[in-house]
Structure 1
Amino acid sequence: MRQRPATPSAVRIIRYRAAPPSGETRGALALRPSAPPPARPPRLRLVRPADGMDAELQAVAEAAVRLVVEILAGTRPATQLSLIAVPAVCRDMTRHQGADRRGGRIVPPRVLSTRLQRPAPAVAETTAVVVVSGRAHALALRLEHTRGRWRCTALETTATG
C-alpha cells in the first residue's frame, strides 16, 4: 500500500477524466436553454499598469512557464528551476522531470497561450496551454512577491513528464 508524504506537495499532477454528462437538454439539437440577458451591460473602465510592475510580472510569468515546460519535456535540468521557485517546488519537480525522446531525438516543447491574473497585490497566478510530447496540457503557476522578487510557490499540470 502506498503511503502519502508527510507534507503536501507543491507540484500536483492532474489526470485527465471524462467530462460528466451535462444537465437537462431540450429539442432536436440538444441545446440548453439560454440565460436571460443582464438587465444592464457592465460598464467599461480603463486599467493601467502600476509603475511597470505588470510588465515585469508578465516577463517573469512567461519565463517561468517556458522553464517548467522545458523541464517537463526533459530539455532542461530541474535544478535550473531554483532561480525562480521555492525549494519545495524545485524538489517536487525533480521527481517529475521528463525525458521526452522519440527515436533518440528530443522533441521541443511549445507554449501555445498564457494568461495572467492578480488575485492580490503580492500574488499572481498564470495559466498556460502547452505542448509536451506532442500532446496539449494545462499548466498553472502561483507566483508570490517576497523580498523584492517574484517566486513560484505552487505548480499544477496535466503533463506527466
Structure 2
Amino acid sequence: MRLVRPGDGVDAEVRAVAEAAVRLVVEVLAGTRPANQLSLVAVPAVCRAMAAPRGPAARGRRVVPPKVLSTRSQRPSPSVAETVAVVAVAGRVHALALRLEHRRGRWRCTALETTAP
C-alpha cells in the first residue's frame, strides 16, 4: 500500500477521459442524455447496465441540470485508472466510481458503481 496524492501518476489524457466519462454518466443518470452515447467511453456491459430503466421520467417537471462537484483519479497500474466523483443529480448528491482500462489503444470504462438509483 502507498499513499496516492491527487493527480499522482495520472496524465492529462487519462484525466480527460475520466472527466468525460463522469460527465456522460451523470447526464445519463439525470435523463438528459441517452445511455447509448456511453459507448463513446464505455464497454458494452457498462452501457447495458446504464440503459436499464431508472424509474419514472420527469414529464412536465423542471429538470435540474446535473453537476460534477469533484473528481479524483489514480493509476494503480500503467493500463488501469480509477476515478471517484461526487455528483449532484436531481438535486441530490451521489458518489460514482469508475474503472478505466487501456485496451486496443484507447481508454474505456470497464466498471461503474454509483449510489444514484
Residues 26-105 of structure 1 aligned to structure 2 (within 5 Å): 54-97=11-54, 101=58, 103-105=60-62
TM-score w.r.t. structure 2 length? 0.86
Contact 1:71–1:97, Cα closer than 8 Å, also in 2: no
Measured after TM superposition, the shift of residue 133 of structure 1 is 1.1
What letter is aligned with 1:78? A
Q: How many residues align?
A: 111
**Unmatched runs of 5 consecutive residues or more in structure 2:** 1-6
Q: CA offsets, 1:79-111, max 9 Å, x none?
A: 100111111001111005566637522211000
**Among 68, 76, 83, which residue is 1:111 paired with?**
68
Partner of 1:153: 110
Is residue 2:93 matched to residue 1:132?
no
Give 3-state SS (helix, strand or coil) of 1:108's partner: coil
TM-score w.r.t. structure 1 length? 0.64
**Among the aligned pairs, what percent are the same residue?**
74
Q: Let me know the Cα RMSD of the aligned residues.
A: 2.1
Q: Distance in 2 between matches of 1:54 and 1:67?
A: 20
Contact 1:127–1:139, Cα closer than 8 Å, also in 2: yes
Q: Distance in 1 between matches of 2:75 and 2:58?
A: 36
Moved over 2 A (4+): 96-105
Change (3 A) 1:159 1:121: same
Q: Which has the higher strand share?
A: 2
**Unmatched runs of 5 consecutive residues or more in structure 1:** 1-46
Q: Distance in 2 between matches of 1:65 and 1:157?
A: 11
Change (3 A) 1:153 1:103: same
Q: Which has the higher helix share?
A: 2
